[in-house]
Each structure stands twice: as C-alpha cells, then as structure tokens.
Chains A and B, each alone.
Chain A
C-alpha cells in the first residue's frame, strides 16, 4: 500500500493535525486487534526501534508486532507554542523532535514574512526534514498539507512549502486542506494573505479542500442544537464533555474525519477502491479548477436509544445539504462538474445506485457531464459508526466563496492599505496584481461552466446519432 506524509504548518495546521493523528490512531486501534504492524497502519505510521537515535524503521513483515509508532508527519510552526504543546501532550510518543521545524518569533499575520523571510531561512531545514520523511516511505503517494489561509505562517510558509514540494517531488500528489478565515475575522490582513496564498495553491496544488471556519462553527452549533448533549462519544463531531478540549478541537475533528475518510479506501480493503490519485483524475476537469467542496455525513449519532438511528438514504441527502458543507456554499444552487461519493461501512453498490438515481434530480450537473459520478466503497466504517459518506464535488457554488475573498481583498487593496508591510519584507508589488489576476482566472473558469450550462439546451441540436 502507498504512504502519505502529512505536513502541518502554522497554528491552525498543527491543531487540525493533532485531531487528525488522535483519530487516525483511534481508527487503527479499532480495526487492528492483534497489535501487529500491518499495511494499512503503514500508510500514516512507521514502526520504529527507539533504541536508536534517530529511531530506525523496523521491517514490515506479516505478524510483526508494533514496537513504537511514529507518525509520517512534519510539524512546522514559526511559534513554539502549539508544537510544544503537541510534543508534551498525549501524542508526544508519535512525534520526534527531528520531525519539527520551529522558530520563536511568529510571522505576524504577514504572508510575505512567512513566504519570503522564513521561506528563505528555513528552506534547507524544511527540505531536509521532508526528505527524511519521504525516504522512510517505500511508495509515497501523496502529501497532505494542513494550513490556514488567513494568518502569516500557515498561508505564507505553508504555500512556500507547497511550492518546494512541487519542485522536489513533482509526481507526488499534493492535497491541501486550507482553512479560510471567517468574515468577522480578527486578522485585518487576512484578505491579503488569503489571495496571495490562493495564487500559490492554484499553481502548485493538485487538489484543494477549502474549509471555512464559519461553516465548521455552524456545523458544531447545529449538532449541539440537534443533540442537546446526547451525542455518542464516537461521532464525527466530538461531544463537548471533555474539560481539556478547546472550542476549536471540535471544529478540527470534522476536518480530521474528512481526511481520514478520504484516505480510508487506500488504507482498508473494499469492493470499490478509490485511491487518492483517482480523486484528482475524476474531479478536476480543467487545469486550475481543483478546489473541491466537501461534506461529511452523518455528522452525529445520538447516544439516546429512544431516537431511531438515521437512515442510510438520509446520509446521501445530507451530503448535498448546505449545513453539512465544510465551506459556506449551497451545493444545490451551484453547477456540478463532477462528484465523488466515497462510502464507508455497511453499504452496498445497489444502495449507491439507488441513491444516485434519487438525488441526481435535485442537482444540476453541467450539461456536458450529466453522469459525472465517481463511487467508492470501503468495508471499514469510521470508529463507532455503521456507515459514513464523504462527498467531494467540483461545484461552481465555490464561486461565491471566492468572490467574497476577492471583494474583501479589493476593499483593502483599493486604498493600498497595509501594503507596505508586505513590500518591506521583500515582496514585489506585482505579486498583488498577479495574485488578483489568477483569482480572476479561477472565477472566470467557474462562470464559463455556468454559462455553458445555461446556453446549451437539454438536447444538443447539433449532434446526431448515425
């Protein structure tokens, strides 16, 4: 099986990463009863002998016991706080200090500081750390990057790392989970950072999963409202019970679950496998249009036995419900160019076909790709759930999200406000215009798709069958 290396950059990235590793461990602990180090565990973890420094990999053999697990991860932050917290927390054992790249001073919410200043100074260190992680894999399939778009380290250094990976490992797939700031964000320069980072994402990423803070917050609120504290412990959203948990841990757990479900099919057996490279082939119709809307369902399961469990079909309806999306958008209003349904657990191929037939009437597919479905079946459900669905789609409803980013950028840029903070850190003035142009290009791709869909009649009059 193939391996993936997770790179978590900045405060947000590392916090999401912490949830991810916690849940990944829990998932493998559930399905790996005899404590052996198997192929599926090998995807995200190494089995090492800790008597050596740095720890040495143990060979992957049938029935080999787990000695000590190390995450295939690189932790990068320009402040020490979160990384140190991770290294001293319950997950300390799965990380080595060799896997971290830290500084003390932070990026000051400035993309240019992250990209130029820290990019230059830490290039060698990051490159070496990543190379060591890569050399420990026998077949590397993908990099998964976790970072935010609003801050300085995540967006600046994060996209710098992305560019570095594109340079050094061009054939390895790069998945980016980018957390977009909410509208009422406390970082005033976040529109600049987002647009500059978007430019990089468009050039160097294979797939981007935009996640909006606001959407995650809403999901958590809805779950709280619906469940009123009767949440099952193992739902996709954790319950508010733990004292130590921070408010964003619950939001991050949604992102972590999304990533786990996305990679589940390449980790566990199933009757219709979807490897991560199939996601790019199926969901990116044109170069540059690689931003995917994601939704996860079911998000919660009630512990209360008096409430009947949610039906299987409900899961498919929920996937296209705006309140289940990881970005604030309305999937039924946008136009889909492609859609992947990745199902885990006790679901059969006939269930998928039935539900596709059912939901497709409510969705607008682009006229030239009316049947753009990709289906996957993985036998292992997430921990504590009977079945789960991850829906990834290339939907033009992201148009709205990105035009919001653009208008907030223009508000600042028209006044040339805060610009000097960027130019003094070695950034060329042209980069703003280039970034804006590339965002405009993306928006025009979306409008093109929308226009095609409107102008073409249901039946093409110009094409005939022999």
Chain B
C-alpha cells in the first residue's frame, strides 16, 4: 500500500519536502515503522536499508531541488530522495504556463512518466498519486498540467490527487490569474480530487493561530505539511458513535478520494486542522473530542479557515445546543441574533473567510430592514446562502488522530447536506499531529470552494457592454480589432446565466474579474501565444472553469 508523491516546481518541491519530513517526524520515531511510513517511503537495499521517499522531484531550475537534497544529505538517520527520480533543467519556465505546458511538457513528460513508472514498480500496491504543485508560476502550473494529462493517459485507473497551492490574492506573480485558470481547468479534467491550499489562509493561520510575527515561506509549508500528514497518514474508517470501533484494514487512498469526491463535477477539496496553536501552548492545553469536532464542523458550516473570528452561523434549531460545547463560546450568548445578523444583506462570502472579526460585535442587534431582507431571502448570494443555511457541502471527512478514541463520537454536526465519514488512526499509532493529544483534520468538498476560483473566473457571464455603456463598447472594440469571436456575445446567449446574474454589491469584488479583464484587454497574451497557446485555447479553459464555478454555486 503506497502512494507515489510527485513534486512539481519550486512551491511543489518545498511543500512536498516539508510534507515528507513531517510524515517522517511523526511516524518514524516508533520502534516499528508504521504503515504511514511504508506508504510514503521505501527501504532501499543500496544504502543498507535506509529510507527513500517514493517521490519524484521535477523542476525547471536547479536551486530548489539541490537545496532540499542538501538538507536531506545533512540530516543523518533520516530519509533521502532517490537521485534517479529527480529531473531538473536550468532555464526555468519564467512564470509562463504555455512555456511549461508546451515547451517543457513536450520535452520532459516522457521522462517524468518513465520515472513515475519505475517508482510504481518499486511499490507492491500503488494506491494513488499525490501531486504537489502551485498554480501561480510556470513550472508547477504548466508542466504540472502536462504531467497530470500524461498520468491520466498512462495510468487511468490509479487515483490521482492534486494538492494545489493557491497564490495570494494580492498577487505573487502578475500573470497568476491566467496560470490559475489554465491549470485548474486541466487539473479538473485529469485528477480525481483537487485539494486547495490558499496562501492567504495559510498566512492567517500562521499569524493568528500560531502567533508568528513574521511568517516565512517555511512556516507556510509547515502548515501545509501538518494538514496533509493528518489527512494522508494511514487511518481506518471508524463508526460515527465510537471512534474506537474501526474497520480492520486501513482505508485506501482511493477510498478516501471516492468518499471526498463522489461526483465528477465536484472535485475541489479543502482541508482544515484543529487545533492549531503555538508549540509553547500545547503543554497547557487539553482537548476533548466533542468540542474539537464541533469546532471543525462549525468552521465548515461558516466556510471559515480559522478556528476563531467567524460567525458560527448554523441552522437555528441546532445552534444554541451545538455551540455550547465548543472551545471558544464567543457567540454562544447571542447565537440567535448572530444567525439573523449573518443573514444581513452586506454579509458576503468573503466575510466569513475574513481573517479579522467583523468591526461591529456580533452581539449588536442588526438593523431591522436587514432582518427583513434576511428573512425573505431576497439575496441570491452564495455568501448569504452560506450564512443562512450553512455552507452546503458534498462530503465531509473527519480524520481523527489521538488518544482516548473510545470517547469520540460524531453526532449532530449541523450540516444536513452530506453524511460525515470518520477515519481514525489506530491508538497505538502515537501520531503527535499538531503536537496535541488529539487532532482533527476535516477534509471537505464545500460550496465555499467556489470562492478562490471565482477570484479568477467569476466574470464569465458577461452582459453586452453595448447594452449599458456605448462608449465602453466602442472602447473595447478599438482595443481588440482582430477579435473574431467576441466572448461577451457568446456568453450573452447563455440565458440561464443571465437570469442567475446579479449585480455585485461590493467594490472589493472587482478583483475577481482579474483574469477575464486581462484577457479582454489582451494583456500578456503575446507571452502565451509565443509558446503556442492562442486566445481561443485560453477561452476554452475559461469555459471549463466556469462550469466548475457554476456547479459549486448551484449547491
């Protein structure tokens, strides 16, 4: 039972290294190496039984790979990467998806597939591929998309699970929105599951939960690593009523993926880990299973990524009861008010995700007209929907690690849309994930996941500019004189799209039009067409991603 890790690009290699290191730290200290170690590492006869990661490292420049190899070299009694499973070129993909996909893809994908095949042959049973990549740059996104395509062609029956590092909303690279659209559209076609790690969320976790003043890239990678280890360590399916009653065999990678993505239209996943706290707090903190699970499910309901500072808005009949047991009973006293307040008009999907608590305390009674609006449900807005009926989800998987499993039970999690599944690690696996006695990772396939996508592609239902501002339309026509298929006309014909369309309320949402805006102004397109990606191809990717956003919004 083993998983082949594929690390692509700078971010993919850094995060992959952090993940494997974290997996090693958590599991390898035991006398007998646990199943999780065998899942990600193999024993190599060549170096006298030392452990080698079942990993393939690919990058278009040499620095990161040689750096992580150097680090593994210096750490004795640890694990290593197999040099024969490493491929790097020198020139870099230059943040250009088309360069990575076409240029490097054509040249190196056969070699990469071959390395993956060799690594698979070293496994007794391949459970799946775990692919780590970022989508802002050129290597992870472009070459990554080519590798995903090839994996689907070559090994169609092996489950592939992409872990995608999503860039900061304020921009890591200027062309990130193009790269995101292109690689997400590919990944959606080629993968069985896509787990998103948003850098903004990771940074919030570091700042507010881990209380770090200055957040380094290594810190972000550590958070990713811990979350991934919690979800990818070997666990067994447990009964909802008593976690100690678990299935006799480890649940496979494919099984988890099947549970998490039950429908081909819903492949996006998000991972939450509770509790997250600075290491110095851990010695003074004890957790019980019930509050941990409650917190996790409340976070899911609110679409929040932090344990604190979100509206614990939940279906009213459950609210008062379920909020009492939680670790931070910040809003218990006024749960009813909060739920109503959460439904007010200007609450948006960003607000629950927002790192800071809202400026006005939730105890304040909302203005009466807002209440009325909330009651009648006039807003057709994801966010309000999230706030009103909870964050609809397709699946929710709880990975429970820790002691005293018999006391754990999952009842009344407040979400009606999907039955929760619980996977627990065996109690003799003393995994100290998050350094605590107990930790819960929640893998969810939820409506709020459309949010990061919307940042890049939400702009797709376009009303004809001529209908509203003639001078604007004239302006657009002058900018793209050679544009034959005008996208706005195309989308205009989508009647359903139009009926669903509502004007955006908030100015900060303007950023969500980014990729589309760039595309409409033909900005940076020449960089992509230089490597063979035309405007029409880009347009197809926009369409594909629109489908995803729409699926999620119809939840």
Contact = CB atoms under 8 A, between A and B. Distances in A.
Interface of A: 1-2, 39, 138-139, 141, 269-273, 275, 277-278, 280-287, 337-340, 348-351, 353, 356-357, 360, 367-375, 377, 448, 451-452, 455-456, 458-466
A459 B168 contact: no
Contacts of B96: 281
B218 A271 contact: yes
A369 B549 CA distance: 22
Contact of B510 (A282, A452, A458): A458
B521 A462 contact: no
B513 A455 contact: no
A134 to B, nearest CB: 14
Contacts of B215: 348-350
Given A1-B90, A278-B173, A448-B479, 6 more contacts: A2-B92, A270-B63, A275-B94, A371-B170, A459-B509, A465-B502
A60 to B, nearest CB: 12
Q: Which 3 A-B pairs have the closest CB atoms?
A: A373-B171, A277-B94, A350-B215
A141 B475 contact: no
A372 B174 contact: yes
A452 B475 contact: yes
Given A349-B217, A466-B458, A374 B510 contact: no
A286 B518 CA distance: 11
A368 B520 contact: yes
A462 B95 CA distance: 30
B500 interface: yes
Q: Which of B14, B464, B511, B514 has the most CB of A within 10 A?
A: B514
B462 A464 contact: yes
B92 A275 contact: yes
B330 interface: no
B42 to A, nearest CB: 27
A463 B459 contact: yes
Contacts of B520: 368
A461 B217 CA distance: 38
Contact of B462 (A269, A360, A462): A462
A368 B521 contact: yes
Given A278-B95, A455-B472, A374 B462 contact: no
Given A278-B94, A465-B461, A273 B63 contact: yes
Contacts of B463: 462-464
Q: Which of B91, B215, B517, B546 has the most CB of A within 10 A?
A: B91
Contacts of B14: 271
Q: Which of B172, B472, B503, B507 has the most CB of A within 10 A?
A: B172
A450 B257 CA distance: 49
Contacts of A370: 510-511, 514
A463 B513 contact: yes
Q: Which of A39, A275, A357, A456 has the most CB of B within 10 A?
A: A275
B170 A139 contact: no
A287 B516 CA distance: 19
A311 B207 CA distance: 21
Contacts of A280: 94, 527
B245 interface: no
B170 A282 contact: no
A12 B488 CA distance: 52
Interface in B475-506: 475, 479, 488, 497, 500-504
14 contacts: A39-B62, A273-B92, A278-B92, A284-B527, A348-B214, A350-B207, A360-B170, A368-B520, A368-B523, A459-B504, A463-B462, A464-B501, A464-B502, A466-B546
A285 B502 CA distance: 31
Contact of B95 (A282, A372, A377, A465): A282
A371 B169 contact: yes
Contacts of B471: 455
B138 interface: yes
A459 B497 CA distance: 20
B217 A369 contact: no
B65 to A, nearest CB: 11
Contacts of B218: 271
A349 B203 contact: yes
B203 A350 contact: yes
Given A139-B91, A371-B514, A466 B461 contact: yes
A465 B512 contact: yes
A374 B173 contact: yes
Contact of A357 (B170, B462, B513, B516): B170
A367 B61 contact: no
Nearest to A172: B91
B540 interface: no
Contacts of A466: 458, 460-461, 497, 500-501, 546, 549-550, 553
Contacts of A459: 504, 507, 509-510
Contact of A141 (B91, B172, B216, B488): B91
B140 to A, nearest CB: 13
A461 B468 contact: yes
A462 B170 contact: no
B437 interface: no
A461 B458 CA distance: 14
Contacts of B513: 460, 463
Contacts of B281: none
B461 A285 contact: no
Nearest to A40: B63
Nearest to B497: A466
B343 interface: no
Contacts of B378: none
A465 B96 CA distance: 27
B531 to A, nearest CB: 10
Nearest to B216: A348
A371 B176 CA distance: 10
A374 B171 contact: yes
A177 B514 CA distance: 32
Contact of A275 (B61, B172, B216, B472): B61
A271 B523 contact: no
Nearest to B206: A350
B328 interface: no
B400 interface: no
A283 B524 CA distance: 9
B469 interface: yes
Nearest to B510: A459
A339 B511 CA distance: 16
Interface in B440-473: 454, 458-465, 467-469, 471-472
Given A371-B171, A462-B468, A277 B458 contact: no
A189 to B, nearest CB: 34
A462 B470 CA distance: 11
B133 to A, nearest CB: 16
B458 A465 contact: yes
A340 to B, nearest CB: 8
Given A284-B527, A286-B523, A369-B514, A462 B90 contact: no
B91 A277 contact: yes
Given A282-B173, A452-B475, A455-B475, A465 B459 contact: yes
Nearest to A267: B63
B64 interface: yes
A349 B94 contact: no
Contact of B216 (A271, A281, A360): A271
Interface string B511-549: 111101110111110110000000000000000001001
A425 B344 CA distance: 77
B459 to A, nearest CB: 5
B174 A465 contact: no
A284 B530 CA distance: 13
B175 interface: yes
Contacts of B33: none
Interface in B54-100: 61-64, 67, 90-92, 94-96, 99
Contacts of B99: 281
A275 B96 CA distance: 12
Contact of B170 (A141, A348, A356): A356
B214 A269 contact: no
B523 A282 contact: no
Contacts of B203: 349-350, 353
